Structure 1
Amino acid sequence: MQTAKKGDKVKVHYHGKLTDGTTFDSSEGREPLEFEVGSGQVIPGFDEGVTGLAIGEKRTVNIPADQAYGQASEDQVVEFPKEQFPADMISQLQVGMPLQMSNDQGQTFQVVIKEIKENTVLLDANHPLAGKDLTFDIELVDIAPGKSSIIMP
């Protein structure tokens, strides 16, 4: 029986939960997630959870924060002057509000307002799941062997 290994392109259905049971993501009602095992396209713990599964097989994997999105880092929290926000936006700022920011190279990334001070706003650029242990229910739907799996006659 063929099982998923590094280099294979796989399709999986998944249900991601926090340790308190709260769902943060699921493929339910969507196409299965497709990725190459071991390529870094998914978090390391998810890659490991798929490895060794056969088509139709299901597995629940518990992924510690270090094998998921890492620990939250205070280096990712920055103080941003209110005067640099558009004037009409300042009165609408709220703790927990997500914002899109861009850096000097034009790359965009999401931040969340952590705190609003008199003249500044604390913005948190950590991944929303940083510092959290995750649980995934995974079902392997399909395997397409990688190039290294092809045997030439």
Structure 2
Amino acid sequence: MKKICLLLILSIIAFSSGCADNGQSEIVEKGDNISVNYVGKYDNGTVFDTSWINVSKEAGLYDASRNYEPLSFVVGAGQMISGFDNGVLNMTIGEKKTLKLSPDEAYGEYKKEYLIPVPRSDLENNSIVPEIGKQVGTLMGVATIVDITDTNVTLDFNSPLAGKNLTFDVEVVSIEKASK
């Protein structure tokens, strides 16, 4: 009986020492490299992006050439939109959170000055057939063709998500602490 009690006491000590928090739980802090799964949605609930393959298929967004895996980034390094960066702070591994972002926290307000007309011949001379909705790479960045006339093509340099309120359902998958 004494052996059983001693084993029981040792087991409790060993178990509790391995499970003690000691204030060391990993929480997301600036500088940490983290991985998250996410679903990005418009206000009306329509999914526009996700790291989950099953969600992409359900939303009709599936792209066979894409890798559906957690998104990794360094928190606070400017790799993400500000609302996403700030929204994951203090989360823990396995924690889920819904981030509701205004345009200022996401891709900014839509700016009419980012609509730039260019001569249609400039695109055609570069073997680009102008089509509404087509994205084209320029020296100024990627733009979407939004209007075509006989002489000009209007390029929109706004992000397609500019001016929109966005919702992200986020789950932290891993945290690699920044070296101190």
Q: TM-score range by the shorter chain?
A: 0.7 to 0.9
* Deviation string, structure 1 residues 86-113 (Cα, Å, up to 9, x no partner): 26967x523222222235xxxxx22111
Q: Please identify the structure whose Cα radius of gyration is greater.
A: 2
Give the structure, 1 or 2, with the largest relative contact order (CA under 8 Å, sep 6 or more): 1
Compare 39-48 and 23-32 and name the one that shifted more: 23-32
Shift of 1:83: 1.9
Q: In proportion to residue count, which structure has more helix?
A: 2
The whole-number CA distance in structure 1 between the counterparts of 2:148 and 2:97 is: 43
Structure 2 unaligned blocks of 5 or more: 1-24, 54-67
Partner in structure 2 of residue 135 of structure 1:
167
Which residue does 2:81 correspond to in 1?
43
Task: Map 1:108-147 to 2 at 5 A.
Answer: 109-147=141-179
Within 1, Cα distance between the matches of 2:126 and 2:159?
27
Q: Pairwise mapping of residues 24-103 of structure 1 onto structure 2 (< 5 A)?
A: 24-29=48-53, 30-86=68-124, 92-103=129-140
Aligned-residue offset at 1:15: 0.5
> Where do 5+ consecutive residues of structure 1 fail to align?
104-108, 149-153
Q: Distance in 2 between matches of 1:7 and 1:119?
A: 49
**Greater mean alpha carbon deviation, residues 79-88 or residues 5-14:** 79-88
Contact 2:123 2:130 in 1 (8 A): no
Q: Larger % of strand: which?
A: 1
* Structure 2 residue matching 1:85: 3-state secondary structure: helix
Output the TM-score relative to the length of structure 2.
Answer: 0.73
Which sits farther off after the overlay, 92-101 or 73-82? Answer: 92-101
CA contact (8 A) 2:124 2:130 kept: no
Corresponding position of 2:38: 14
Identity within the alignment, %: 39
- What is the CA–CA distance in structure 2 between the aligned matches of 1:11 and 1:83, rounded to whole Å? 45
Q: Residue by residue, what CA displacement relative to the aligned partner does 1:14-69 show, whole Å, maximum 9, x if unpaired?
A: 01011111111101132211111111110010011111111000000101010111
Dislocated runs of 4+, deviation >3 Å: 87-90
Cα RMSD between the aligned structures? 1.7
Structure 2 Cα separation of the partners of residues 64 and 7 of structure 1: 24
Query: Number of paired residues?
Result: 142
Distance change (3 Å), C-alpha of 1:87 and 1:142: closer
Deviation at 1:85, TM superposition (A): 2.3
TM-score by length of 1: 0.85
